[in-house]
Amino acid sequence: MLILIPILSILCVPALWFLIGRPRFLLGMGKAVPKKISIIIPARDEEHNIKNLLESINLQTLPAHETVVVNDDSSDQTAHVAQELGAKVIDSKPLPADWKGKPWACQQGAEATTGDWLLFLDADTRLMPHAIAQLSNLTEKKDHAFSICPWHTVERPYEQLSVFFNILMVIGMKAFAPNKDIQDDTRLVGQCMLISRANYAQCSGHAAVKSEILENYHLSEVLKSMGIKRSCYLGKHSITMRMFPEGFTELWRSWKKGFISGAAEVPRAIMIWTSIWINGMIMAIIALIVSLGAGEPPFVMAISISAYLIHALLCLWVFKLVGRFSVINALLFPIALIFYHVLFFAAVINAKRGRATQWKGRDVS
């Protein structure tokens, strides 16, 4: 009977194809079409990140129309660094009671710009030199809003633990599934979002999602209701991010603050296929442990090892789609998978107990 476990595990492999079987990148976009693209960066205590982002903006082959940094009550040198690197800096007005911090900063930034297109960037993103040129070609589709899932640059071992959160965030965009019905419900990524000023004004901008933690998800729904299409791309070779340079605690708190809300927004079909894929990995782990520990016949051990290696190779493929994650991380995927479950259930328990989740001094529960 033990042979059924690795066989079932292998049968779960195609589930990932239904989730991210058709990845798309900003490559081969042709000659850049100059457009007035205004960059808006909400920034709260981001003096280290903002430097790297603005330096990458200053190196663009096609310059942006303008760059506006919204200094969201920072306690560090965010505003000073941004000014030194040539950005226009505006200080955020006091946060209204019915607004969340990021939507409020984005709304103010949009109102301070003059470009025809608005590019919202998180401070931890980086642009490759041709990124604005690539994005400018997208502006030919005036009935679309766009977003790019930044490619996660990983530098320290603890950052490898983010991998399943990254993958599930990308899957949750519903942009890369072969099923066109799923693609038609594409969500936008808040870290990098491009929208025309006309469409932004038509949907009331971030004011339409002022009280939402995951404002990008809900803004996508608003745009969908208005008939504005949403398209999403993977950021490898164009837009990257470095999420957690300050340590493991930052990683834990960051994923914890938004992942429960994100999971609640995932449609049933995506949740089912995701569960099948994850359960396939869990069965591969169990099969390998049991077969090696119980001294099973060689053919059972061979199938168990094969199931594990198939999932490891599949992990390697998808890991490389979303970031600079290592081969070792893929081969030892149970470690990152266990971490994902531990953090996820810790967030669920906190939510059930009504504990507030803090991020940079604000309640983001």
CATH number at residue 235: 3.90.550.10
- Asked whether residue 259 is domain-assigned, the answer is no
- Asked whether residue 359 is domain-assigned, the answer is no
Same domain as 163, residue 41: yes
Using alpha carbons, list the distances in angstroms from residue 198 to 1, 107, 222.
62, 14, 14
Name the residue range of residue 330's domain: 4-18+267-351
Q: Is the dihedral of CA 310, 312, 315, 320 positive or negative?
A: negative
The string of pLDDT tens digits covering residues 36-91 is 999 999 999 999 899 999 999 999 999 999 999 999 989 889 999 999 999 999 99
Whole-number pLDDT of residue 214: 83
Whole-number pLDDT of residue 53: 97
Instruction: Tell which residue, 33, 31, 237, 230, has the closest CA to residue 139.
Output: 33
Residue matched to tokens 């003096």? 47
Question: Could you say which residues of the chain have pLDDT below 70?
Answer: 1, 28-33, 180-183, 258-265, 354-365
Query: How far is Cα 262 from Cα 169, in angstroms, rounded to an integer?
Result: 8
- Asked whether residue 360 is domain-assigned, the answer is no
Interaxial angle between packed helices 163-172 and 333-352, expressed in degrees from 0 to 180 and rounded to the nearest 10: 70
Same domain as 297, residue 153: no
Same domain as 119, residue 30: yes
Domain ends where: 247, 280, 304?
A: 247
Same domain as 66, residue 14: no
- Asked whether residue 203 is domain-assigned, the answer is yes
Whole-number pLDDT of residue 265: 66
Same domain as 164, residue 67: yes
